[in-house]
Structure 1
């Protein structure tokens, strides 16, 4: 496991995502992302204050986007380890507990296989 595959980062962000991250960090300077595995908010990248979320022993750090750590549960990592996650922003409401909620924009995970082909993530 690691933050790169064949020299490419496992997680990247669009300009729109970086803009929203910087907006959130004005209010919450220390944040982190965790790729949701389902339940209440589907398969969304969830953004939390860093001191409000406990990273577990089974969480894998995929990398950082604009200096913000990004984690995924190990079981999801095993399924998606051949994909690069691309964090984007679309209009809408964020996850109930995510810091993008109430901003009329929400984070969205897109992906591509490391061989360059577009690939939807399971559950999206």
Structure 2
């Protein structure tokens, strides 16, 4: 969402609920959104959502309003169902990106070194 792109650890100006991580949705729902600092783990969650949508041609939140999406994301029981992702390695990558705990999400380097990228013609990468 380039209209709301911000540097890491800066305050957000806006957000797209379809791609925001649970911790960010929770902050906006309780009114802390403008004071919440952006983290790289948010981009990892958003990448997982984008990869899911690209691989399944659907979203987790079809026909839901931004407010409904934010409430779903805030629910501690919400876990994206990735069973529709046709490729096992891609499903594993998406699952790792969509961890509710931001500390459990992979870094961008770890994503690039994931077996999905190493076996699809994109890799290996050198750093």
Give TM class, smaller chain.
under 0.3
Q: TM-score, normalised by structure 2?
A: 0.25
Structure with more strand by fraction: 1
Task: Give the number of the structure whose alpha-carbon radius of gyration is greater.
Answer: 2
Structure with more helix by fraction: 2
If asked which structure has higher relative contact order (CA below 8 Å, sep 6+), I would say 1
Q: TM-score, normalised by structure 1?
A: 0.26
